[in-house]
Chain A
Amino acid sequence: MKANCWMDKQVVEVREVPDPKILNERDAIVRVTSTAICGSDLHLLNGFIPTMKKGDILGHEFMGEVMEVGRGVKNLRIGDRVVVPFTIACGKCWSCQQGMTSTCENSNPNGAQAEKLWGHSASGAFGYSHLTGGFAGGQAEFVRVPFADFGPLKIENGFADEQVLFLSDIFPTGYMGAELCDIKPGQVIAVWGCGPVGLLAIKSAFHLGAERVIAIDRFEYRLRMARELCGAETINYEEVEDGPLETLKQLTGGRGPDACIDAVGLEAHSPGLQYAYDRAKQAMKLESDRPIALREAIMAVRNGGIVSVIGAYGGMIDKFPIGVVMNRGLTIRSAQTPVHRYMKKLLGLIEDGSIDPSFVITHRMPLADAPRGYDIFLNKEDNCEKVVLKA
């Protein structure tokens, strides 16, 4: 089969590789019909997530048709259409039973190594380094899906792939980002990053009752999508004269937003010295992640407010403003999204017309063009917001 493989920093290639096989009883093999490139795939591309190997198959947002099931899978049949959650979860451990499938205690075959970096292991994930299990990803013609009797969501209502594909990751992630803010009527929410997850966080924040949402980015076309498609007010942080923090105060009567969502993660930018500092430390491997958006969100949020972190981080940061968190009584909430918990509920929102997440798609191309898709997404060419690959 053909699959999009990580070959080196900045290099992906579509290559001919062996077809996947059933390795565990609860596996299924899925023929991928649609798959997407995620912002976190760019962190892998840029070499910021450790333990990638030459040849690793990428991709964790995908859906398709069941081709084969292991003998432990009773609820799926050949030909079923399924969307697959990007976090891999067994459904039997205590974490899964609490709904925290992204910290499944059994699904990461490299858990002992993950423990060294993170204290405890998190769940396995598709196409997302050896540290999260070494699972082949879904930017391929076929993919093996472990625990297929627990994860995949059957699509039986005739929706097009594009309407339901994002239940695999970015819709649940954006929604969770808003949910972690505990939004109450009348509240103002700020969202750093107007990539696909940021836009879906804005939509979700309004759905959950926010009165106003303020979006922050530096790409005008993304800010336009936030304004025109999601109803947000926007700040271009490279252009506002008073800087984003003062501007946010001006827009919120000096209080600051009630909650802030970091939908940027470990490769943040800023026009100032802080960027040069973090970029240099990251290059020297003194700091693995560049937490500029996170620091700004912490500084900006009102006293007693919530900072919701859904942008991807991998390891360590420094200059963490703990004094701000302590003295102003802030709450920081975060998770790799337990996708399983949100899929059915968000399918309901698609069905009743509340949110159609397909509005983020700007580019569609065949799987064979994946390297070009990565390129334009990385370089923000041609107003690229979200690339969907058709296998």
Chain B
Amino acid sequence: MRVTKAITINRPIEEVYAFWRDFENLPRFMYHLEMVETIDGKRSHWTARAPGGASVEWDAEITEDRPNEAIAWRSIGTDDDVRNSGSVRFVKAPGDRGTEIVVTTEYDPPGGKVGAVFAKLFGEEPSQQIGQDLRRFKQVMEIGEVVRSEGSPEGQGRSILRQHPVQPHEHRSEGEARL
């Protein structure tokens, strides 16, 4: 499975690259990620939580890092069920419009129990989910936080069909508590 999505961010390329390069920032806009811990300059430890609460963990290493141009990473270790890789390219947008980024995510059709959890991370529509990740990334870069509404208090990510009616909520929902 391979998904590619692009978005334009109205910020300078150096800033956009630097924010992404610190993988610990990724969970701020990739909602399937619980946490990313940097181990050293190349390696990091990723924890993700699938709908239903089961979590998976893996280590990743950076395979390419060209400042203000590209970053690529892939999972390491022996667990085939969570084998995945990703890359992001940064290009200065024409007409003084900031930075174009193109993100590619790839994972093998997973097998086994852990693999099934991993597949859930990207949902039934991985393209839309990664699109939402990038919209949140743009929000964080351009306005400093993820935009919320009464119907989507946790921001982008939940399908319209599963949303609350548009009213303020008496109690914090599970989705809100995550933030």
Give the B-binding residues of A (Cβ under 8 A): 3, 5, 17-21, 23-26, 51, 53-57, 72, 90, 92-94, 97, 105-113, 115-116, 124, 127, 130-131, 133-137, 144, 146
Contact = CB atoms under 8 A, between A and B. Distances in A.
Given A53-B163, A97-B10, A111-B156, A20 B168 contact: yes
A93 to B, nearest CB: 5
Given A3-B167, A18-B168, A92-B10, A133 B131 contact: no
B156 A109 contact: yes
Contacts of B164: 53, 134
A112 B132 CA distance: 6
Contacts of B166: 53, 55-57, 127, 130, 134-137
A159 B10 CA distance: 38
A108 B153 CA distance: 12
Contacts of B167: 3, 5, 17-18, 55-57, 136
Contacts of A124: 147, 149
A72 B165 CA distance: 27
A106 B142 contact: yes
B97 interface: yes
Given A94-B98, A112-B156, A115-B131, A20 B142 contact: no
Contacts of A55: 165-167
Interface in B128-148: 128, 131-132, 135, 138-139, 142-145, 147-148
Contacts of B27: none
A109 B160 contact: no
B8 A109 contact: no
A90 B142 contact: yes
Nearest to B11: A92
Contacts of B159: 113
B151 interface: yes
Contacts of B149: 23, 109, 124, 133-136, 146
A146 B131 contact: no
Contact of A94 (B10, B128, B151): B10
Contacts of B152: 109-110, 130, 133-134
B170 interface: yes
B8 A94 contact: yes
A93 B142 contact: yes
B2 interface: no
A93 B93 CA distance: 14
B42 interface: no
Nearest to A15: B167
Given A3-B167, A57-B166, A72-B144, 10 more contacts: A17-B167, A25-B145, A92-B10, A92-B143, A106-B139, A106-B147, A112-B132, A113-B128, A133-B149, A134-B163
B143 A90 contact: yes
Nearest to A95: B10
A106 B29 CA distance: 13
Contact of B160 (A105, A130, A144): A130
A136 B142 contact: no
Contacts of A51: 160
A131 B168 CA distance: 18
B168 A106 contact: no
A39 B167 CA distance: 22
Given A53-B163, A134-B152, A107 B144 contact: no
A263 B144 CA distance: 38
B44 to A, nearest CB: 27
A92 B142 contact: yes
Nearest to B129: A112
B106 interface: no
A94 B168 CA distance: 30
A106 B138 contact: yes
A136 B135 contact: no
B148 A24 contact: yes
A54 B166 CA distance: 9
A146 B150 CA distance: 11
Given A131-B160, A134-B166, A20 B150 contact: yes
A321 to B, nearest CB: 33
Contacts of B151: 53, 56, 109-110, 130, 133-136
Given A56-B165, A136-B168, A111 B135 contact: yes
Given A17-B167, A94-B10, A23 B139 contact: no
B75 to A, nearest CB: 26
The 6 closest A-B pairs by CB, nearest first: A134-B151, A55-B165, A109-B152, A56-B166, A136-B150, A23-B148
